Structure 1
Amino acid sequence: MSEKIYVSYSVAVGIPYTGREVAHHVVLNYIDDEGSHHVVEAGPEIKYNHTFPKFLALLGTEGINAHIDNQDSKFGQIEVYIREAGPNDLDNPVEDIAQGADLSSQWEAIVNYAYQVSRLRTY
C-alpha cells in the first residue's frame, strides 16, 4: 500500500454572523502502509469556544499589535499535539504533500521538528 503525507485545513476563525473565514487551522497527516492515520498539529494554549471572543483575540494579536513583538498573545503559547487521527480529521479539505512506498523517514523528521517546537514553548 502506498503511504501518504498531506495537509488538511479547517476554519480556525471566522467573522461572526457572516460566514467569512479569516484564519485556518492546518494539520499534517500521515497514512502509513498499514493504513494507520497519524496527525501532528499545533494550536493555542488558550482556546476560545465562541467565535466573537476568538475573532477579537485574533484582531488584537495579529491586527492591531502585529508590528509589536508578540510576547503577549491573547492565545498564549503554541502547543503541539502528536496523535492518532479521529473522526473530525476526515471532514476537512486536504492537499497532498507526498505519496510513495515508504515515507516513514519524512514523517519522523516532521515529528522530531514538532517535538522541538513543543520544547521551545515561546513565540
Structure 2
Amino acid sequence: MIDAAAVRAANLAIQYATNRTKISEISKKIHGFSAFDREGGQVYLDDVREQYLEDGDRWRGWRHAIEHVLGIRDSDDQDCITSEQRELADLLDQKAALRVEAGRIKTNIASLGRMIIRARA
C-alpha cells in the first residue's frame, strides 16, 4: 500500500509542478500584454468585462465574454475587438483552467495524505 501511495504521490507532485510551470509561462505572456513599456500600449479588456456583466449573464470566461459582447454590439462595430485582446482572453481562460486543475491536484494530494494517515493507524 505504501509503495503504491509513494508512486501516486510522485505522480501528483509531477503533475502539480508541471501545472505550476504552465501557469508561470502563461502569466509571463499575460504580463507582456499589460506591461507599461509595451510597444503599441497595454491591452485592456475592461470594456468587454463591463459590458458583459451589465448584460446580466454569469461569467463563463473571457472568450465567451468577447463573443457575447460582439453579439450585442452593432454590426459596424464588429472590429472593435483586436486580435491582441482575443489572444489575451485566451491566455486568461487557459490560466483559469490551469488553476482549476491545480485545485483538483491539491485535492488528490490531500486525499492521498488522509489515506496514508489511515494506513499508519
Q: Same fold (TM over 0.5)?
A: no
Higher RCO (CA 8 Å, separation ≥ 6 residues): 2
TM-score, scaled to structure 2: 0.26
Choose between structure 1 and 2: higher helix proportion: 2
* TM-score normalized with structure 1 length: 0.25
- Could you say which structure has the higher strand fraction? 1
